[in-house]
Amino acid sequence: MTADLILYELAAEDPELRFSPHCWKTRMALAHKGLEATRIAWRLTDKDIIAFSGQGEVPVLVDRGEVITDSWKIACHIERTYPDRPSLFGGDDAVALAGFVNAWADAVLLPAISRIILVDIHGGLAPADKEYFRTSREKRLGQRLEDVVADREGHLSIFRNALAPLRRILKDAPYVSGEAPAYADYCVFGMFMWARSTSSIELVDAGDRVSEWRERLLDHFGGLARSSPRATRIGEAP
């Protein structure tokens, strides 16, 4: 137990609802290391609260005064700083490859899921964040949020096809990292927690190997992820 760790996590209107995919990577990584952090709810428009970190995004980890931003850098930091606890990567040779899995999750899964749940995310945000989220995302995507998710079924189908490499390796082992989960698993799992926290849309069928893998991770660490709050305003119609 370490009382000296502080983690800033993105929160919805319900401050207990923490939904950022990257914050979930960090949450699972800390649990893997057996580290406990004081978790602070942070909203998209609370830029001043994390101004000390020199940037405007979460997760932000403060480890006994040292400030670390970016979920990947946080994972590397806790791996290096707490070498006697269970390893997040296994060996040095696995770090670059875990980075590939993380890049795949961020570059492929994240945009694919956003086209499914964007309006649901918006629906759960605090009032001040709603306006900021709509304006910034619509500017970035060049479309109204509602138009982005208009063809939900089509985007769901694209997302499920994109899971092919994951489905393929889960044929041979229960986790991306092999016999036990590690950071590469959490990078992908964070994307599923993002959707689970904000939307009632079921991303994968129950019979899908990927669903079975997700269920195992929901139960991991004593059900840490499964017992976490979900959106109350789920499934909001576009």
Residues that bind a copy of itself (CB under 8 A): 87, 89-101, 103-104, 106-108, 164-166, 168-169, 172-173, 175-178, 182, 184
Q: Which is nearer to a copy of itself, 96 or 237 (CB)?
A: 96
CA distance 24 to 10: 10
Cα distance between residue 34 and residue 59, in whole Å: 18
Q: How far is the CB of 106 from a copy of itself (least distance, A)?
A: 7
CA torsion angle 97 101 104 105 (round to 10): -160
Closest separation in Å from C-beta 190 to a copy of itself = 15
Contact 21, 190 (CB under 8 A): yes
Nearer to a copy of itself, 109 or 145 (CB): 109
**Nearer Cβ to a copy of itself (48/92):** 92
Q: Specify the residue, 90 or 238, whose C-beta has the smaller distance to a copy of itself.
A: 90
User: Nearest distance from residue 210's CB to a copy of itself, in Å?
Assistant: 13
| Burial environment of residue 154 by CB neighbours within 10 A (0 to 12, 13 to 18, 19 or more) | exposed
Comparing CA positions, the residue from 70, 21, 191, 198 lying closest to residue 124 is 198
Least Å from the CB of residue 188 to a copy of itself:
10
CB of 108 to a copy of itself, least distance (A): 6
Query: Which residue lies nearer to a copy of itself by CB, 31 or 108?
Result: 108
Q: For residue 37, is it left (φ>0), alpha (ψ between -120 and 50) or beta?
A: beta
